[in-house]
Chain A
Amino acid sequence: MTYSNDASDPYKTELFFRYTDSEVAEIQVLMQRWDQATYSTLPASIVKHAKKHGFSEEYLRYLRKADNFNKKAARKKFLPDGAIRWNKGSEFLIERNGKIVTYGENG
């Protein structure tokens, strides 16, 4: 198991905790699609959004679901600040400047 305690960013530690080296590598790839936005770090943004949407300690699953969101046949709506909300069934994805701001489910 890979676990590197990063005192400078406890959210990074939280994000990678419990995952194998290959899973951490996958997380690092998937998180590049995300927007740090106003959070102190990119891992902070991902951990906070995952917890909000019911994916506590399931960060890789959360990142995979966001990455697998299929925009085909999804409803597209424009939001302030150039953001876009994609909605399909109970799932939604919000992007801004080509980066993921958040992903969740309303069902």
Chain B
Amino acid sequence: MAKPMENQNSIATPISPPAIAHIQLLSDQLDDLYRAMRDERRAIAQWEEDQEFSILGVLELFSSDIQGYAQQILAGAERANLKSRREHLRTLNVFSVDYFAAWYFAQWSRYPQAKQYVEQLDHLRLLVIEYLGTVAIEAVA
């Protein structure tokens, strides 16, 4: 019996619209970036030991929720609860978390890979919001 999901991308519904292909690409790139920033994650983890907040915690939590919505789209399950999903995605803005924004904009050149990850994550979030909006419009039309 053939091994399932030899390529995890193969589970997606046929991807032809550029927006879906873009969501797939960004989501895959995020995981690549995550692995590449291992040294920076270790350094941030040591730095935030003495803090009351967790930058890595926000990143893990928000990336999980945003990539989950992206996964729903790639699995072809994007048509339910469009409004509530877009509203939730609007709250998943890492820059709306005060301590996270302060960390991000302080010492701009530190942790370049982690900050690239943040930018890519927010790009994916905005793309998913836009895509779900398009689906909602098509559903009404």
Contact = CB atoms under 8 A, between A and B. Distances in A.
Interface residues of A, number: 36
The secondary structure that dominates the A interface is mixed
Interface in A1-49: 3, 5, 10-11, 13-14, 17, 37-40, 44-45, 47-49
Contacts of B66: 38
The secondary structure that dominates the B interface is helix
Nearest to B38: A106
B41 interface: yes
Contact of B5 (A14, A40, A49, A96): A14
A14 B97 CA distance: 36
A90 to B, nearest CB: 7
14 contacts: A10-B11, A14-B4, A39-B68, A39-B72, A44-B71, A47-B8, A48-B68, A77-B54, A80-B58, A87-B54, A92-B60, A101-B60, A106-B41, A106-B45
